Amino acid sequence: MAFAIGIAVYFGWRSEPSLPYALAVCTVLFGALMRVRNRPCAYEWILLALFLGAGFTRAIHHTHAVKAPILPDERRAYTFTGWIENIHSSGKLQHFYVRVASAERLPPEKTPKRVRVRIKPYGFKPGDSVKFKTLMAAPPDPAIVGGYDSARAAYYKQIGGYGFAISKPQAVELGELDFGQSMKRKLVKFRYALSRHIQARAPPHTAGLQAALLTGDRSGIPPEQSNALRRAGLAHLLAISGLHMGLLAGGAYFLASVGFASLGPLARRHDMRKWAAVVGIIIATTYLLISGASVSTQRAFIMAVIVFMAIITNRRALSMRSVALAAAITLMLHPESLLSSGFQMSFSATAALVVVYRAWADRRDFTQRGSIVQRLWQGFVGLSVTSFVAGAATGGFAALHFHRFARLGFIANLLAMPIFTLVVMPAGFLAVLVMPLGLDKWPLWVMGKGLDYVLFISTWVSEMKGAMLYIKGANAMVISVFALGFVFLCLGPRKVRFAGIATILLSCVLWASIDRPDMRISPEARVAFWDPDSVNILKVDRMRGDGFGRDRFIEQAGLESAERRSYMDIDNICDVLACRIDLKGKIISIVAEPEGVATACADSDMVILTNREAGPRTRRACAVPIIDVRGLSKSGAQDIFINGDQIEIRKANPKTRKARPWG
């Protein structure tokens, strides 16, 4: 926890810290630790401080280590040559993630390692070498204040530019790649060849889902299926994580244990579980490679390997120590994953399950095995407890990050997970095993039938009234306090658990006290504000434009959708010079040209200049805040809060964010 808090402190720092200073602090703490070895209380506190400093230092070091060239903020034309690492569908278009080999008229030291380009589906596939012309700029700032920071995520993935193609890509031949890139390219080609083979052999209705579960390629999933799974609380099935890794590697371990145990002479001399654990590690490694080795899959792989290593070394396989060790290794490799919803939900579910099942095992009476009916009932109870605990543990983090909560997710998981666990994944595992023999059609058919049932449950649950609860967005403070309370609840003794409950309740109070913004101004000076007389009517200057930002703005307010109306249609709100909006007693003037700013400043509480820049003389002469296109281009989107007589302006890209490498 101290190591994780150190990482969190780094990402909350107001400027980029110095690595030598951080190393010096850690050195001093280590020296102090050696001096107080015989004083237990001081030793423990300094040890915690040392781990906090280690997390802070590792985050700085990792940020410097992954630094790669980033394109300028202004969109320009570039011609890139490289090979496609991944393809994601985006409506009728596709997103190519390209590993850049060269760029025309761009020196090597300024050429990004990777770029993301939006392009028409011309039939290219991952692993292909392409040359294309694109309009591209640096990855964008957050679309809303306090929202998802795509530029920060792109920085750690070494993606230096986002853009769209302005020419049809051409197939080219690349020169010789280094060993690492060459191996990765071969693995990408193999992975997507496997995905296409699965989609060709599997039932058409579920082919995309089957390829996603076995290879991590989600490009073939129909949008209606992913939406139904999301609304039913089954979206976790789409992300290859601990569930999938556990089912495949755990299933391989079980089969290997049975097989090795049948070898009488060896089984009497050796502990066959250790041999089976080696098989489990091999299967987990194979699944990691063919599924794309995303960060979530790496987390699952680390946890699986730790469990199998515990079996090999005669340790308890599932304990809070193994969970903590897996989390520590993950954070050491990818400190930025601490901020991701995947990391928080994955380890919260694992920790909660370990705590609950340990407490259950300490209190249950172990008796002789009963009848088949009794064992089936016990299995159903165990599955119900697992679904409830995992859903409760992840539900809070899901609501905090995604502003929605699947209220009927427990029902969907309870009905769908037995078939997914006992039919879908075992059939998929068998299909991959017999694929070299050409016998994979029937296992894929069985897997497809199981997924048909899962989709039926997800559609049925998602269409129920009130299946999805929408909640207003939370800030980093609320998420941090909630996470701290959750850790206290899982790790501490009884008194600390009560403190954890109190901390979680405090986070809920802080969450409830967050006010939604009254107005949004996009980086392009598109204006939208909430109707004071209705909670779900958004008044806009134009019906088109800033679609993505407005969607996130509505979502952050805790609404599934909102009716959009043009405020231009209201009588007496606009004249030749400006539109004047009365918002909670404050007059906000929206001016198109600088000539109208002086008049607007005289009778308004805030002025928004939408087309040009306000000069220094105009700003000095105006006693009220002025927002113009130049300021918006630097600060990104802005939210306006009106609290009594005060007007508060919050920026999506403030100076503190600009001071960081991804800003």
Residue among 587, 613, 615 nearest 601 (CA): 587
The answer to whether residue 385 scores a pLDDT higher than 60 is: yes
Which residues fall within 8 angstroms of residue 293, CB to CB, at 6 or more apart? none
In this predicted structure, what is the pLDDT of residue 55?
96
Answer yes or no: are the C-beta atoms of 487 and 1 closer than 8 Å.
yes
In this predicted structure, what is the pLDDT of residue 263?
81
For 221-280, the pLDDT digits (tens) are 888 998 898 888 888 887 766 677 887 888 888 888 888 888 878 777 878 888 899 999
The answer to whether residue 4 scores a pLDDT higher than 90 is: yes
How do 76-90 and 93-103 pair as beta strands?
A: antiparallel
- The Cα 177–Cα 307 span in angstroms is 37
The answer to whether residue 153 scores a pLDDT higher than 80 is: yes
Binned at pLDDT 50, 70 and 90, residue 481 comes out as very high
- The Cα 294–Cα 70 span in angstroms is 22
In the beta sheet, which residues pair with residue 548? none
The answer to whether residue 127 scores a pLDDT higher than 80 is: yes
The answer to whether residue 54 scores a pLDDT higher than 80 is: yes
- The Cα 353–Cα 356 span in angstroms is 5
The answer to whether residue 366 scores a pLDDT higher than 70 is: no
Half-sphere exposure of 639 (CA within 13 A, CB side): 25
In this predicted structure, what is the pLDDT of residue 571?
62
Per DSSP, helices labelled H in 36-123 are 40-65
Average pLDDT, the chain: 88
DSSP 574: B
Residue-range domain boundaries for the chain: 2-65, 76-175, 476-512, 519-658
Per DSSP, helices labelled H in 334-371 are 341-363
In this predicted structure, what is the pLDDT of residue 639?
93
Answer yes or no: are the C-beta atoms of 619 and 600 closer than 8 Å.
no
Mean pLDDT of the region 559-567 = 88
Side chain identity at 203, as an amino acid letter?
A: P
List the single range of 355-364, 403-412, 457-466, 518-527 with lowest mean pLDDT: 355-364
- DSSP secondary structure of 489-522: HHHS-HHHHHHHHHHHHHHHHHHHTPPPPSEEE-
Is 2.40.50.140 the CATH classification of the domain at 76-175? yes
Side chain identity at 368, as an amino acid letter?
A: Q
73-102 burial, b at 16+ Cβ within 10 Å, e below that, comes to eebeebebbbbbbbbebeeeebbbbbbbbe
Q: What is the dihedral of CA 280, 281, 284, 286, to 10 degrees?
A: -110
Highest mean pLDDT among 134-138, 341-345, 346-350, 624-628: 134-138
The answer to whether residue 365 scores a pLDDT higher than 70 is: no
The answer to whether residue 364 scores a pLDDT higher than 70 is: no
List the single range of 271-275, 446-450, 572-576 with lowest mean pLDDT: 572-576
In this predicted structure, what is the pLDDT of residue 26?
94
The answer to whether residue 520 scores a pLDDT higher than 90 is: yes
The answer to whether residue 22 scores a pLDDT higher than 60 is: yes
Q: What is the CA radius of gyration of the chain?
A: 28
The two structure tokens encoding residue 248: 């495949």
For 193-209, the pLDDT digits (tens) are 998 999 999 999 999 99
In the beta sheet, which residues pair with residue 90? 93
Binned at pLDDT 50, 70 and 90, residue 450 comes out as very high
- The Cα 299–Cα 343 span in angstroms is 8
301-319 burial, b at 16+ Cβ within 10 Å, e below that, comes to bbbbbbbbebbbeeeeebe
Binned at pLDDT 50, 70 and 90, residue 174 comes out as confident
